[in-house]
Amino acid sequence: MIEPAAAGTRAARGAALRPALLLLAVAAASFATYQLAPPAVAGRVIYLYAACLALGPSLVYPLARRRGATPGRALAGSLLVPCAWILKEGWRVSAVFSAPEAAYYALNPMALGLYQAVALQVALIELGLRRPWRRGWAAARGPLAALAAVLLFAAGLGWVGRGSGGSEIFYRYSEIHGWLFAE
């Protein structure tokens, strides 16, 4: 059992860092293995990499909160691996496109899905930690609002992509790119 650090102490400030860095190390190792290993190994290690990326907040956030991190810092820790991924992708995109276009890449439909996954996990975990069914729902306004926002956003995307398996979302994303970066 990890002992929570006292609020405001150095340990509390760094409480989110260690689990976030640990996850980043696992993600980096699995990505490197994916790139270098034979296909049979790569095809398996990709699951670990994907799990770090999409489900990492379910590990980092509760660990950080138990170690005394504030919700904000725990959220920041949870975003470390997704942000590292989007930076890596941005660097790759910048080999072909301009820096502003590489920045716009961070809003692509897959990245939006990832952000939603992070927000959903964090909101649900925070809701679970606050136990509003015992302490009253007023204590859970923040995570409830976050949850509502995520669901609303997902519903909006679902409406755009309805009947197309989601490809309409991609077409609209490309269209906005055209408006922003027309030659």
40: contact with another protein by CB under 8 A: yes
Angstrom distances, CA of residue 122 to CA of 14, 40, 46, 143, 146: 18, 34, 23, 8, 9
Member of 36, 95, 138, 155 binding another protein (CB under 8 A): 95
What residues between 134 and 163 interact with another protein by CB under 8 A? Answer: none
| Residue with Cβ nearer another protein (21 or 114) | 114
93: contact with another protein by CB under 8 A: yes
| Residue with Cβ nearer another protein (159 or 181) | 181
Provide the token pair at 43. 């095809």
Provide the token pair at 132. 């509003």
Beta strands in the chain, from DSSP E residues, in sequence order: none
Using DSSP's 3-state secondary structure scheme, residue 30 falls into helix
| Residue with Cβ nearer another protein (100 or 128) | 100
36: contact with another protein by CB under 8 A: no
| Residue with Cβ nearer another protein (11 or 114) | 114
Q: Around Cβ 116, how many Cβ atoms within 10 Å?
A: 16
Q: Are 16 and 76 in contact (CB under 8 A)?
A: yes
170: contact with another protein by CB under 8 A: yes
Q: Are 56 and 23 in contact (CB under 8 A)?
A: yes
9: contact with another protein by CB under 8 A: no
> Distance (Å, rounded) from C-alpha 79 to C-alpha 86?
10
Contacting positions for another protein (CB under 8 A): 34, 39-40, 42-43, 46, 50, 89, 92-93, 95-97, 101, 104-105, 108, 110, 164-165, 167-168, 170-171, 173-175, 177-179, 181-183
